[in-house]
Structure 1
């Protein structure tokens, strides 16, 4: 196995987030489920919702892309593969991720659907309700995969949201094959309960075939995978099936299992929860950075918790503080 140029190569949705302050009444009136993510399939519907929202702030997003942004801020070399369109939002996304020092060379698509966007409504309690038009992101073709980049990543990190579309699902399967042939590890984040409900059997097929080395999930996703409300039993059962399981519990912290090894940490204190968008993504960034640095499970979990706490202290899914310095200071203290 050749040396790795990147600690993590991620495949995910290349989208731009549009964040807006909202109220519970607006979310109810729009028929949304607070704190969830729903897909928008018609660009006209996305435009209509945007017109009804309050003033918005544009920030490049996408779950795996946010994780990669966090890893880059922590000083880890990484790369991202995701499909944009040849339009203004696509240029914004490419500029933002490349400016972080991330290798991103996926050619933009011409014709077809525009670059994806996620309309995020943030209520006063910091909860985010997401409405995602995937656009070009879901049409990532196998031909857009760069084999050399995939072979050069120590870990291939896959975003569960992309499993929903036929083109991107095929691309991810091909990426797994390339990474495996190169002797690399593969990680998957389950992304959302609706993703689990739609693809539970496919995810277990990957697990049982030994294709996954690391699984990220929150407690609701673990419950959905194991089809039980008993979170303790669900975590135990799922952990027995994957080499490494990382489960986040929101304000109740996070835990990780690797064979007989188990660690759990509390959530880091935050003066005020402003926006929970990207919290899980930045947690994954901290944990993966810890693993890349050879840290143990508990320290890696702490790094994830520190990064997530920074994320929820401001609007937007990407770090605004120097999280590398923050993590070093918190670990020392």
Structure 2
């Protein structure tokens, strides 16, 4: 087995986020569930909602893409696999992720549909309500996988959002096989309760089959996965079924379970919550970077909390502050 040359290789939706401020009343009027993600199934639906948005700001996004951008900002070496279309938004996404220091070589897809976009409405309390048109990202084929790239990463990181379409789901199953065959770890984020409602059986099967080494969830996702109403009961239910379980709990901090060890960290203090878009993604970035660098669980959790705190203090899900400087100042 050769030594890995990348810290993390991620597979996920290649999306350009369009963020706009909105009042709670707008969320209600549009029939949205505040703080959640909903899919839009046609470009016409996406165009109609876009027309109702206030002034917007375009920022490259996608859950796993945000995570590897965060790891790169911390000094890690990462690669990303995701499908864009041969269009302007596809060029924006490719430019941004490469400029962040992430290797990205997936060939763009010709023709319709367009590159994925996520319309994000940020309410005054900083909560983000997402409406996603998956576009080209849902047509990532297994043939687009760079097997050598996957084999060269210490950790393969997969996002639950991409499990919905059939083609990328098959691609991710193949990627897990490649990572396993090369002795690499597999990390998986549940992404959203919406994903669990549609594919919870698949996720539970991946866990039961021992295919997940590191599982990321927030509190609501854990409850949905375990089909429990009480947090501690859900933790007890999943305990021992994955080698590493990481659960974020917003202002209550985060926990990690590794074997019989349970580690808890507090949320980092901040001045104000501006936009929670990408908080979980950047928490995963800090934690995975810590693990790739051989830090212990507690330091990895603290690094995750630090990265999440940075991201929620501005709009967009890509870091604006120097994460390496922040980490050095807070963690040494």
- Length-normalised TM-score, structure 2: 0.99
In the aligned structure 2, how far is the partner of 1:240 from the partner of 1:112?
A: 44
In the aligned structure 2, how far is the partner of 1:171 from the partner of 1:211?
A: 15
1:195-215 per-residue CA deviation (whole Å, 9 max, x = no partner) reads: 112111111211111111110
- The answer to whether residue 205 in structure 2 is matched with residue 215 in structure 1 is no
Q: How many residues align?
A: 332
Residue 307 of structure 1 corresponds to 307
Cα offset for 1:154? 0.4
- The answer to whether residue 18 in structure 2 is matched with residue 31 in structure 1 is no
Residues 262 and 297, structure 1, Cα contact 8 Å, conserved in 2: no
Q: Which runs of 4+ in 1 moved over 2 A?
A: none
Secondary structure in structure 2 of the residue aligned to 1:51: helix
In the aligned structure 2, how far is the partner of 1:212 from the partner of 1:228?
A: 21
In the aligned structure 1, how far is the partner of 2:127 from the partner of 2:57?
A: 16
Segments of 5+ residues of structure 1 without an aligned counterpart are: none
Cα offset for 1:33? 0.8
Residues 73 and 101, structure 2, Cα contact 8 Å, conserved in 1: no
In the aligned structure 2, how far is the partner of 1:111 from the partner of 1:143?
A: 18
Secondary structure in structure 2 of the residue aligned to 1:204: helix
- Correspondence 1:230-309 to 2 at 5 A: 230-309=230-309
- Correspondence 1:97-246 to 2 at 5 A: 97-246=97-246
Segments of 5+ residues of structure 2 without an aligned counterpart are: none
Cα offset for 1:236? 2.1
Q: CA RMSD in A?
A: 0.7
Cα offset for 1:112? 2.6
Residue 83 of structure 2 corresponds to 83
- Length-normalised TM-score, structure 1: 0.99
- The answer to whether residue 72 in structure 2 is matched with residue 66 in structure 1 is no
Residues 142 and 170, structure 2, Cα contact 8 Å, conserved in 1: yes
In the aligned structure 2, how far is the partner of 1:17 from the partner of 1:3?
A: 35
In the aligned structure 1, how far is the partner of 2:310 from the partner of 2:231?
A: 26
1:28-59 per-residue CA deviation (whole Å, 9 max, x = no partner) reads: 11111111110000101101111110000000
In the aligned structure 1, how far is the partner of 2:116 from the partner of 2:320?
A: 23
Cα offset for 1:301? 0.3
Secondary structure in structure 2 of the residue aligned to 1:241: coil
Residues 85 and 109, structure 2, Cα contact 8 Å, conserved in 1: yes
Cα offset for 1:109? 0.3
Cα offset for 1:285? 0.2
